[in-house]
């Protein structure tokens, strides 16, 4: 069965550069979530999209932006990169149904960003 | 104080032991998730709970909504169960997860 696909898996950038991470959700899933996990840290919620509209926003810096496209894939754009942006970025997808506001989540393998 | 608290933070046990990891939360939720993260970083969803109890193989998860508490149990633990187990909640009405700090479990042969 198809899983959540993230690309690239690894990315190395210099300070002040720009990076774009992509997430392809499980087919027919309508919701995408982005999380950031710094070294030794808990994952932190960044942003979510439901049916191509932003549905919730967490601790996402103003230098970051994201969108969900008509094919439901999502991209996280990060500009003016800082050393502290080095982290594992997870995407998850779900089909929101029932009483849960998130549905059962399926995670991608993550994109590891290193800023030098 | 974190909205989601897990205990213990670290747990080492011998193969075959019965394992319990606890999670308490302070917000109203629509669901609670138990996740497993292996050293490579990948996260796997183990359970999504909104009430009662679920069982999958050697894993059992329970939740008490009134007490805002959940437990994850592993029976007949095995070294391959070694991982970080994360409790995360879906706050009511929000499309996000709030994560606990994780429990690092090591099962020795």
**How does pLDDT run across A72-93, given as a tens digit for each residue?**
999 999 999 999 999 999 999 9
Closest Cα in chain A to B39? A40
Closest Cα in chain B to A99? B30
- Position with higher pLDDT, A100 vs A104: A104
Residue B41 pLDDT: 75
Contact between chains at A106 and B95 (C-beta distance less than 8 A): no
Contact between chains at B30 and A100 (C-beta distance less than 8 A): yes
- Position with higher pLDDT, A40 vs A62: A62
The full length of chain B comes to: 109
Output A59-62 pairs: Cβ under 8 A, ≥24 positions apart.
A60/A34
Say how far residue A44 (Cα) sits from the centre of its chain.
11
Q: Is the pLDDT at A98 greater than 60, yes or no?
A: no
Q: What is the mean pLDDT of residues B28-38?
A: 93
Q: Is the pLDDT at A2 greater than 80, yes or no?
A: no
Contacts of B66 (CB under 8 A, 6+ apart): none
Contact between chains at A110 and B43 (C-beta distance less than 8 A): yes
Q: Is the pLDDT at B1 greater than 70, yes or no?
A: no
Q: Is the pLDDT at B66 greater than 80, yes or no?
A: yes
Q: Is the pLDDT at A23 greater than 90, yes or no?
A: yes
> In this complex, which of A35, A55, A88 lies closest to B95 when CB atoms are compared?
A55
Contact residues, chain B, for A50 at CB < 8 Å: 95
Task: Give the separation between CA A107 and CA B99, rounded to whole angstroms.
Answer: 14
Please name every residue paired with A73 in a beta bridge, in sequence order, or none if there are none: none
Contact between chains at B96 and A37 (C-beta distance less than 8 A): no
Task: Give the separation between CA A23 and CA A106, rounded to whole angstroms.
Answer: 12
- Position with higher pLDDT, B2 vs B90: B90
Contact between chains at A100 and B41 (C-beta distance less than 8 A): no
pLDDT band at A97 (very low <50, low <70, confident <90, very high): low
> In this complex, which of A55, A88, A101 lies closest to B90 when CB atoms are compared?
A101
């Amino acid at each position: 069965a198809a899983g959540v696909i993230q690309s690239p898996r690894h990315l190395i950038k210099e300070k002040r550069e720009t990076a774009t991470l992509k997430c392809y959700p499980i087919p027919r899933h309508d919701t995408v979530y982005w999380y950031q996990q710094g070294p030794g840290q808990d994952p932190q919620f960044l942003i979510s999209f439901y049916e191509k509209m932003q549905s919730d926003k967490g601790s996402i810096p103003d230098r970051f932006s994201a969108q969900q496209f008509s094919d439901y894939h999502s991209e996280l754009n990060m500009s003016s990169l800082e050393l502290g942006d080095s982290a594992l970025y997870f995407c998850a997808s779900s089909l929101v149904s029932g009483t849960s506001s998130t549905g059962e989540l399926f995670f991608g393998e993550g994109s590891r960003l290193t800023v030098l | 104080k974190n909205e989601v608290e897990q205990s213990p933070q670290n747990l080492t046990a011998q193969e075959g032991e019965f394992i319990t990891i606890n999670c308490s939360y302070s917000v109203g939720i629509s669901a609670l998730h138990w996740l497993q993260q292996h050293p490579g970083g990948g996260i796997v969803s183990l359970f999504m709970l909104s009430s009662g109890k679920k069982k999958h193989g050697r894993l059992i998860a329970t939740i008490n909504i009134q007490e805002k508490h959940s437990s994850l149990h592993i029976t007949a633990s095995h070294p391959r169960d070694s991982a970080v187990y994360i409790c995360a909640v879906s706050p009511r009405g929000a499309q996000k997860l709030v994560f606990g700090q994780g429990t690092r479990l090591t099962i020795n042969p």
